[in-house]
Amino acid sequence: MSSQSRVLPHPAALRRLGLSPGMLTLLLLSAAHFFIDLYSGALAVLQPLLIDKLRLSLTQAGLLGGLLVFSSSVTQPLYGYLSDRWRSRLFSALSPAIAGIFISALGYAPSYAWALALVFLGGAGVSAFHPQGSAWATAGLERHRARWMAVFISTGTLGLALSPFIYSRIVASGGLESALWAAIPGFLVSALLLTLMPVPDHPLGAGAPAFDWAPLRAVRRPLTILFLGVFLRSAVQITYTQFLALYLNKERGFPLSQAALVLTLYLTAGALGGFIGGNLSERFGARRVILASFLYSTPFMSYFFFIDQGPWGIASLALGGLILLFTIPVNVVVAQELAPKQAGTVSALMMGFAWGTSGMLFIPLTGWVADHSSLHFALSLLLVFPPIGYWISRSLPREAHR
């Protein structure tokens, strides 16, 4: 995609605000990303209540989380392909409302089958947003794209981080069914996107297909390395997001509200880590940031599981999560620069498919291992993956600097 094709038309109604088309789109999509990821993180805190209400085993709880990951992440390449081809803003504009209503309605599920259906439909809203959202977020910003991508991604991670806190407060005061109130902001954000968000010019002309496999084949080796790195990082991050509150509540005796606060702290640190990582990559290069993330996150997270689970241990876990998530915006920007004409597709591969396949595999597997041993053993076992990610990522080309 050429530089000119990424310039967005400026809505006349907002000219007086002095926003460039690119900055307007970044702000709108960042706000949407906050709520999309807030909804995607709701299951982590609703899960203990659903286990009690529907009498679920940890394996069933893991399958519920795995289905959410499949629906919200593994299917992202499909939406990336469709959004690259048709470039309709409906992919990102309707997603907050869809994700919000179905995921927040989990408290009304009368059976496990209904819970599975609601999770699948809510996850579809999450999935449809991410490829187009990440491809369009920096579409009109020609400079410091890694930094602006870090802003977009960090707002999503912040939404994910605040999700346990927000949902735990809602259900604490009104019960599991009251979670439905959280869907209201999703409808409001969807209305803003439909009303205000401009659409990028089609680089190939109206109706022309925008997808071509050739650019992807040309960079398949570095893309594969990036994919494997995201897969291994996600084995830790997404599984901890799903089970940390449950682990603290069921095995460590934390009240659910306190367990949700620890999860919020961990995820907030990750949101900050994504922002820091995007800025560090512009100064030191993407490859160095990726390697440092894998190398230095493991010792801090291991301290929590094997040495101290008090305040210092929780702080160490949060610091490890911060370092682990250095690479989220870095991986996306590098992938987009390797294949700029398929920005939506490669964004989906890095943010969705790699993340999703990892979560779809390891969330149910972790639940199964926990049923046969303990969550402590199952979660600590995942810490073998960052060192493997470091070893694989050493093969990244040194010129991958943005």
- In SS3 terms, 70-127 reads as HHHHHCHHHHHHHHHHHCCCHHHHCHHHHHHHHHHHHHHCCCHHHHHHHHHHHHHHHH
Q: Tell me the residue range of the domain where 302 lies.
A: 19-393
Question: What was the pLDDT predicted at 197?
Answer: 81
The reply to whether 327 falls in a domain is yes
Helices (H) and strands (E) in the chain, counts: 19, 0
83-100 per-position pLDDT tens digit: 777 777 888 899 999 999
The reply to whether 94 falls in a domain is yes
Of 270, 50, 259, nearest to 156 (Cα)? Answer: 270
| Cα distance between residue 396 and residue 152, in whole Å | 25
| Cα distance between residue 89 and residue 92, in whole Å | 6
Q: Indicate whether 7 pLDDT > 50.
A: no
The reply to whether 14 falls in a domain is no
Question: What was the pLDDT predicted at 158?
Answer: 84
Residue with tokens 């995609």: 1
Of 100, 113, 141, 116, nearest to 8 (Cα)? Answer: 141
Domains in the chain, number? 1
The reply to whether 72 falls in a domain is yes
The predicted model gives 93-119 an average pLDDT of 95
The reply to whether 356 falls in a domain is yes
The reply to whether 88 falls in a domain is yes
Going by the DSSP 8-state scheme, the letter that residue 7 receives in this structure is P
Q: Indicate left, alpha or beta for 207 from its phi (over 0: left) and psi (-120 to 50: alpha).
A: left
239-283 per-position pLDDT tens digit: 998 899 889 988 888 888 889 899 989 988 988 888 888 888 878
Interior/surface letters 370-392, b for 16+ CB within 10 angstroms, e for the rest: bbeeebeebbeebbebbeebbeb
Q: Indicate whether 2 pLDDT > 60.
A: no
Of 40, 159, 47, 56, nearest to 103 (Cα)? Answer: 40
Question: What was the pLDDT predicted at 298?
Answer: 94
The reply to whether 4 falls in a domain is no
Contact 301, 319 (CB under 8 A): no
Q: Which CATH number do you get for residue 236?
A: 1.20.1250.20
175-209 per-position pLDDT tens digit: 899 999 999 999 999 999 988 887 655 433 334 35
Q: Indicate whether 22 pLDDT > 90.
A: no
The reply to whether 95 falls in a domain is yes
Question: What was the pLDDT predicted at 396?
Answer: 81
Which residue type sits at 135?
A: A
**Summary mean pLDDT of the chain:** 83
Contact 295, 390 (CB under 8 A): yes
345-389 per-position pLDDT tens digit: 777 777 677 878 888 889 889 989 998 989 999 999 999 999 999
Question: What was the pLDDT predicted at 3?
Answer: 37
Question: What was the pLDDT predicted at 360?
Answer: 82
| Cα distance between residue 281 and residue 279, in whole Å | 5
